[in-house]
Chain A
């Protein structure tokens, strides 16, 4: 039934382009076609966020503590007299923020005379003779009393005390905007993170012979941080899974996507299956998507472009939608391409992809184009999408020129992207579903290799299933590990 629609659409005499059509610029679709190298560079930049790797030796209070030559341990020097004799050391870099959770650990080698070691986070200008948590803009878990300190006068019982042989961890949960602390692999507790700005992992020693060693992740952690992150993700996921969604809205969105891009064969199969399948009496109450217009023409044009037959494409386009070529939007794209072509050619970041596509449009007689046959499938798809958008603008009933460029699905994804970003700005609890941070997919992208999607997918799915199992095994392993550690300490 879908196939018969466009004959009537084509029969309609082309009307003067709607007032809004000039606003439609097919070149805006170009933003999709960053080259793999660009995506890789962007991904690498995000990934390259430096993490703490060692202790900072230059700003530590050298009077009271000495940092080992490998910059991973601190020992208290001499005998402490009063409260300002703290030996505080920060990490060389602040905790990275582009991840769900940051975490580090310290092992108390020697609790010294008073056992006043502590662990926490401080801001850059923290006073280097004070325990983390004594000053504002800092937070610390202290060994001698097991209290949590969050600024002058703000301290409360938090967890167990800790001493020689204990491994203490401190982390930031960016999902929940919380600090959390661990002792010997068990979660002690968490507290709302009220401090803004870059936060440095910080440790302190405060009495004779006290000595601690930090672990910024080069050694395996005592605490099962992977399991912790996984459980947090699951919690966040289950919150949004409970939300109510209009019935069959996904079905509707997929259908309008197929319509928008002129994937007519898929659409026909989709509609046929939806009719015969009893549970999917879909798209009730949503009406017909607006992109019915010129469907099978758009399908044919796409097929021609994708097969590389640019000659026929322009011929057909001239027959069916002369206004697109004569007074229409592609000409604007062509002019734009002409005047900017030189710039594109010298603009390295633009990569070969776009400039060739643009060059193609720039030929008035595509048959004479020497570049036409050079188009690779993704480049063809760009041209196909641009032509598709141009044809959609000739729809006399067009209300919103934006809808020529973007399908309903794309509009929703754009909205989602902005919203997720804003939430981050507002420092709200950031919900990250596996869709947004599918690490496996990102990784393959980073390599610049577009591996068989199915392989990547299957790997990541298997990962999800296995993680549940692994989590169980891990717990067992960790309890064994703890027993072993205790045996070693006592034996």
Chain B
């Protein structure tokens, strides 16, 4: 798809609808399918897109198999995926200290250069202590490790206050900030860790495929204002809908 702009040249036969500015231009299904046939998408580019997804999302075994089966080279050292996934899993299962140590083994500058990430990890650690009912330990940790950071940063302070609220309530499930104890909070922190490690490895933190799909939605929305044409509404089947006139 990197070559789309080259391929576009070949499609210049679509009538320029400048004169039809007032009314929507209708592109029939036949016409559209003819154009679609002219598009050249390289297999190599598709393979790379898939490899990029497997690597970024951490499917290390699948990425390795795909390298063998399709001959596509991964855009990152596969060994680093294993490390990254271990850190991610540690956060997901609540072992924050283990995750912090593993991150530092991987690259000590990651936490140094991401104060926000480091803070969120410590906050997660506090949450896990509270969840485990280690109230004294939690209080000590909050005072010694977290409170000084709150002095540096107003946003951090607010986060600390929210988290400490969990200690006040007997029934933490009904605490106003009970959502901090949700699995989703772990996943949020884990995905932040994942992104930071990828960035430290000079790799994009998000796979390319979703942003291409978003672009497909975006261009459809834009085109809807000007033309009636066969849309793809269902991405999982990629079937063309008949143009609505």
Indicate, yes or no, whether A interacts with B. Answer: yes
A binding-site residues for B, Cβ under 8 Å: 28, 31-32, 34, 39, 42-43, 45-46, 98, 196, 237, 239-241, 243, 245-246, 249-254, 256-258, 261, 263-270, 272-273, 278-280, 286-287, 299, 302, 306, 377-378, 381, 385, 400, 407-429, 431, 433, 435-438, 441-442, 445, 452-454, 457-458, 461-462, 464-465
Contact indicator A452/B73 (Cβ below 8 Å):
yes
Please, what's the 1-or-0 string for B188-219, where 1 marks a CB less than 8 Å from any CB in chain A? 00000000000100111001111111111111
Q: How far is the CB of A25 from chain B (nearest CB, A)?
A: 10
In this assembly, does B177 line the interface, its C-beta being within 8 Å of a C-beta of chain A? no
A32-B73 contact in complex given A412-B232, A465-B202, C-beta closer than 8 Å: no
**One of A239, A302, A408, A438 near B236 (C-beta < 8 A):** A408
Chain A interface secondary structure, helix, strand, loop or mixed?
Answer: helix
Q: How far is the CB of B232 from chain A (nearest CB, A)?
A: 5
11 more contacts with CB within 8 A, not counting A249-B236, A265-B65, A453-B73, are A278-B183, A408-B235, A413-B46, A415-B216, A425-B16, A429-B222, A431-B218, A437-B2, A437-B5, A445-B3, A465-B199
| Subset of 16 A-B contacts with CB under 8 Å | A39-B6, A240-B218, A250-B209, A251-B57, A253-B209, A264-B69, A265-B68, A269-B64, A273-B59, A279-B187, A381-B43, A416-B1, A417-B8, A419-B219, A433-B211, A457-B203
Contact indicator B62/A269 (Cβ below 8 Å):
yes
In this assembly, does B185 line the interface, its C-beta being within 8 Å of a C-beta of chain A? no
Q: How far is the CB of B81 from chain A (nearest CB, A)?
A: 11
**One of A240, A254, A266, A438 near B209 (C-beta < 8 A):** A254
A454-B73 contact in complex given A241-B214, A412-B238, A428-B226, C-beta closer than 8 Å: yes
In this assembly, does B175 line the interface, its C-beta being within 8 Å of a C-beta of chain A? no
Q: For the side of the interface on B, what is the size category?
A: 35 or more
Contact indicator B214/A240 (Cβ below 8 Å):
yes
Nearest residue (CB) in A for B37 is: A28
Instruction: Give bound CA distance, A287 to B92, whole Å.
Output: 28
Instruction: Give bound CA distance, A251 to B58, whole Å.
Output: 12
Q: How far is the CB of B110 from chain A (nearest CB, A)?
A: 13
Instruction: Give bound CA distance, A42 to B42, whole Å.
Output: 14
Chain A neighbourhood of B41, CB < 8 A: 32, 410, 413-414, 417
Contact indicator B204/A263 (Cβ below 8 Å):
no
Nearest residue (CB) in B for A441 is: B2
B70-129 residues at the A interface, CB under 8 angstroms = 70-76, 92
A254-B4 contact in complex given A266-B62, A269-B62, C-beta closer than 8 Å: no
In this assembly, does B49 line the interface, its C-beta being within 8 Å of a C-beta of chain A? yes
Chain B neighbourhood of A263, CB < 8 A: 65-66, 69-70
Instruction: Give bound CA distance, A103 to B38, whole Å.
Output: 33
Nearest residue (CB) in A for B221 is: A243
Instruction: Give bound CA distance, A485 to B32, whole Å.
Output: 56
Contact indicator B213/A421 (Cβ below 8 Å):
no
A252-B216 contact in complex given A409-B49, A410-B46, A435-B208, C-beta closer than 8 Å: no
In this assembly, does B53 line the interface, its C-beta being within 8 Å of a C-beta of chain A? yes
A243-B59 contact in complex given A266-B69, A420-B8, A422-B14, C-beta closer than 8 Å: no
Contact indicator B215/A431 (Cβ below 8 Å):
yes
Contact indicator A269/B6 (Cβ below 8 Å):
no
In this assembly, does B35 line the interface, its C-beta being within 8 Å of a C-beta of chain A? yes
Contact indicator B210/A385 (Cβ below 8 Å):
no
Chain B neighbourhood of A249, CB < 8 A: 210, 213, 235-236
**One of A278, A385, A437 near B92 (C-beta < 8 A):** A278
Nearest residue (CB) in A for B72 is: A453
Contact indicator A272/B61 (Cβ below 8 Å):
yes
A253-B235 contact in complex given A239-B218, A266-B65, C-beta closer than 8 Å: yes
Contact indicator B43/A421 (Cβ below 8 Å):
no
Q: How far is the CB of B78 from chain A (nearest CB, A)?
A: 11
In this assembly, does B130 line the interface, its C-beta being within 8 Å of a C-beta of chain A? no
Contact indicator A250/B213 (Cβ below 8 Å):
yes
Chain B neighbourhood of A410, CB < 8 A: 41, 46
Chain B neighbourhood of A421, CB < 8 A: 4, 8, 11, 14
Chain A neighbourhood of B8, CB < 8 A: 417, 420-421, 424
Contact indicator B212/A433 (Cβ below 8 Å):
yes
**One of B40, B65, B208, B229 near A31 (C-beta < 8 A):** B40
Instruction: Give bound CA distance, A413 to B235, whole Å.
Output: 11
Chain A neighbourhood of B229, CB < 8 A: 422
Q: How far is the CB of A26 from chain B (nearest CB, A)?
A: 13
In this assembly, does B136 line the interface, its C-beta being within 8 Å of a C-beta of chain A? no
Contact indicator B16/A273 (Cβ below 8 Å):
no
Q: How far is the CB of B61 from chain A (nearest CB, A)?
A: 4
Q: How far is the CB of B160 from chain A (nearest CB, A)?
A: 26
Chain B neighbourhood of A39, CB < 8 A: 3, 6
Instruction: Give bound CA distance, A411 to B231, whole Å.
Output: 12
Contact indicator B14/A425 (Cβ below 8 Å):
yes
A32-B2 contact in complex given A418-B35, A425-B17, A431-B215, C-beta closer than 8 Å: no
Instruction: Give bound CA distance, A142 to B92, whole Å.
Output: 62
Contact indicator B235/A246 (Cβ below 8 Å):
yes
Instruction: Give bound CA distance, A254 to B210, whole Å.
Output: 11
In this assembly, does B135 line the interface, its C-beta being within 8 Å of a C-beta of chain A? no
